[in-house]
Chain A
Amino acid sequence: MTEERLIISRKTNNKFFLMIAIGVVLLIAGIIIAALSGGHQAEGHGEAAAAGHEAAHWSKRLYMNLWLNNVYFTGIALVGVFFVAVQYVAYAGWSVLIKRIPEAMGYYLPIGGAVMLITFLLGGHDIFHWTHDYLYNQFLEDGVTPNPQYDPIIAGKAPYLNFWFFLIRMVAYFVLWILFFNWLRRNSLNEDLNGGTNYYHKSIRISAMFLVVFGVTSSTSAWDWVLSIDTHWFSTMFGWYVFASWWVSGLAVITLTVIMLKQNGYLKMVNANHLHDLGKFVFAFSIFWTYIWFSQFMLVWYANIPEESIYFIERLGGNGGHFKWIFFVNLLVNFAFPFLVLMTRDAKRQMIMLKIVTIAILIGHWLDFYLMMMPGTLRTDAGIGFIEIGTTLIFLGVFLITFTKGLAKASLVPVNHPFLEESVHHHV
């Protein structure tokens, strides 16, 4: 089988850098606008505080955006490793030709880890209510007067939700994920050089171990990074909910990349049959995400217990209906649209249809994460403006640079994979 090397031209790379530059400009513009209007608010600070409303500082909005985008892109990178691992454990043959794409997505993980750590250390108080020490002291300093800010519910979660344990967990997730990513990648690259089935069998064992790690960490990281924003509230479905969102976004990235590469003359042996399977994945897991979404929503809606339903009230009529449109757009873009458009066989085999749907899904699930994080933090100060678009463009640019660099490092066709022949002749 012939090797295929991806060459990222200077022009393409410059486009990515331009994307980052535009992002930075928009971000700075957004911050200046927010700081100016925020300064105006500060003048009437006493009045605003008395009215029980204080406009969020621009830095809070910046931290929230860093957190949102980083969780989103880290999840996509992680899903790349997960996809490869699933294919190995399932002895899948069809995906061999496109395997290098999810494999290269993992290159974003170290950056994701660094950004996550820095954002948490700098902006932890802005993102997570539970990081404030005063919530945990039952009495004021004299030891007698009850602390009015004491929160028994949050204090009860202290054994899990405390600064150091949270930090240790975060580092552990990234160390484990990056370790397994490197391990799988190294075996895959060595297979290209030396051939034989040893690397394949070894990869299956590594993948099986990774899946166990992923099964636990994907849920716990979702609790840590997303669920704990709404500290009082909890949902036993939340781990799967975030996983479903990550997974379908990751599948959309894989599909979109395959199409982009194919349209630029790469991946010559990939045909409509492979696209069909990827389309089925995107279609099926859009429905899976909806299933999880609805399961979580309906139980809360039906039971109608105040401490539970507050979560959806904040996203519907609460916060002055600020998030209502996103709530419904979320369902339309992530369920109705892919469900109806990708239903037929022909749609899943056409690049243009897949392209439209995957781009819609990627925007839709960004909004999904937005809806998970913003109502609990920025509340009515949340918006989608220069800061949001700018930060997203920066992250997208960085992700694309690391991703394409990773893709260019090795042949796009894993030349010595034992199932390569099966993938070339894949037929559905």
Chain B
Amino acid sequence: MTKKFVLGIYDDEDVLLQAIENVRAAGTKIYEVFSPYPIHGIDDVLGIKRSRLPIVAFLCGLFGMCFALWMQIWMLGFDWPMIIGGKPHIALPAFIPVTFELTVLCSAFGMVITFFIVTKLKPSIKVNVFDKRSTDDKYVMAIEVKEGVTDISALNNLLRSNGAIEVNEKEVIK
């Protein structure tokens, strides 16, 4: 199955932001915008909802904390109790550094792994809708052409009237 995309190339950040607003106002769904660097305010303009990654971070951190406490209490308190420095077997202050480290570790790893899974980022990933110049000095707005539509002149006009310096068509085999 093939999908058709229209890529509008922009060379100015402010023009791009305005174009995104206008294109969305015209009722056209934007597939993706590529930029060489993060643009302030682009999330709001694109209408992207805030990421729920912080919740994952909190839950993973909570898990790490519980795991670390359970591990140390079980190991040093029940499985193999030892007297260290004359302290009680379960001496909470001594457990804090490890608990802290595991909380941070689980939180960080959990976030990274979740991010990869959610965004489907993997070594074998193929980015078909891509213009190499978007890693250099151009911004690219990609719009998916609806099935059955053969004439893209309307999209072409929409993008050009909103400041695109170039409009390309791209066919992708899914």
Give the interface of A toward B (CB within 8 A): 294, 297-298, 301-302, 304, 343-345, 427
Scoring B residues 113 to 152 as 1 if CB is less than 8 Å from chain A, else 0, what string do you get?
A: 0000000000000000000000000000000000000000
Interchain CA distance A301-B94 in the complex, whole Å? 9
Q: With A343-B58, A344-B54 in contact, do A302 and B41 touch (Cβ < 8 Å)?
A: no
CB distance from A232 to the nearest CB of B (A): 23
Chain B: which residue is nearest A301 at the CB level?
B93
Chain A residues whose C-beta falls within 8 Å of the C-beta of B96 in the assembled complex: 294, 298
Q: Let me know if B85 and A427 touch, CB within 8 A.
A: no
Chain A: which residue is nearest B44 at the CB level?
A427
Interchain CA distance A202-B86 in the complex, whole Å? 58
Q: Contact partner of B40 among A297, A343, A345, A427, CB < 8 A?
A: A427
Report whether over half of chain A's contact residues are helix, strand or loop; otherwise say mixed: helix
Chain B: which residue is nearest A291 at the CB level?
B100
20 A-B contacts (beta carbon < 8 Å): A294-B93, A294-B96, A297-B93, A298-B93, A298-B94, A298-B96, A298-B97, A301-B93, A302-B85, A302-B87, A302-B93, A302-B94, A304-B85, A304-B86, A343-B58, A344-B54, A345-B50, A345-B54, A427-B40, A427-B41
Give the interface size bracket for B toward A.
Answer: 10 to 19
Interchain CA distance A115-B98 in the complex, whole Å? 45
Chain B residues whose C-beta falls within 8 Å of the C-beta of A345 in the assembled complex: 50, 54
Interchain CA distance A325-B158 in the complex, whole Å? 68
CB distance from A286 to the nearest CB of B (A): 15
Chain B residues whose C-beta falls within 8 Å of the C-beta of A297 in the assembled complex: 93
Give residues 38-68 of B contacting A (CB, 8 Å): 40-41, 50, 54, 58
Interchain CA distance A297-B97 in the complex, whole Å? 12
Scoring B residues 83 to 112 as 1 if CB is less than 8 Å from chain A, else 0, what string do you get?
A: 001110000011011000000000000000
Interchain CA distance A427-B58 in the complex, whole Å? 24
Chain A residues whose C-beta falls within 8 Å of the C-beta of B41 in the assembled complex: 427
CB distance from B87 to the nearest CB of A (A): 8
Chain A: which residue is nearest B85 at the CB level?
A302
Chain B residues whose C-beta falls within 8 Å of the C-beta of A298 in the assembled complex: 93-94, 96-97
CB distance from A422 to the nearest CB of B (A): 12
CB distance from B41 to the nearest CB of A (A): 6
CB distance from A342 to the nearest CB of B (A): 13
Ordered nearest first, which 4 A-B pairs have the shortest CB separation? Answer: A427-B40, A301-B93, A298-B93, A427-B41
CB distance from A271 to the nearest CB of B (A): 13
Chain A residues whose C-beta falls within 8 Å of the C-beta of B86 in the assembled complex: 304
Interchain CA distance A7-B38 in the complex, whole Å? 41
Chain B: which residue is nearest A345 at the CB level?
B54
Interchain CA distance A344-B53 in the complex, whole Å? 12
Interchain CA distance A344-B51 in the complex, whole Å? 13
Chain B: which residue is nearest A344 at the CB level?
B54
CB distance from B37 to the nearest CB of A (A): 14
Besides A298-B97, A302-B87, 12 new A-B residue pairs in contact (Cβ under 8 A), listed by A number: A294-B93, A294-B96, A297-B93, A298-B94, A298-B96, A301-B93, A302-B85, A302-B94, A304-B85, A343-B58, A427-B40, A427-B41
Chain B: which residue is nearest A428 at the CB level?
B40
Chain B residues whose C-beta falls within 8 Å of the C-beta of A301 in the assembled complex: 93
Chain A: which residue is nearest B41 at the CB level?
A427
Chain A residues whose C-beta falls within 8 Å of the C-beta of B85 in the assembled complex: 302, 304
Chain A residues whose C-beta falls within 8 Å of the C-beta of B40 in the assembled complex: 427
Chain B residues whose C-beta falls within 8 Å of the C-beta of A302 in the assembled complex: 85, 87, 93-94
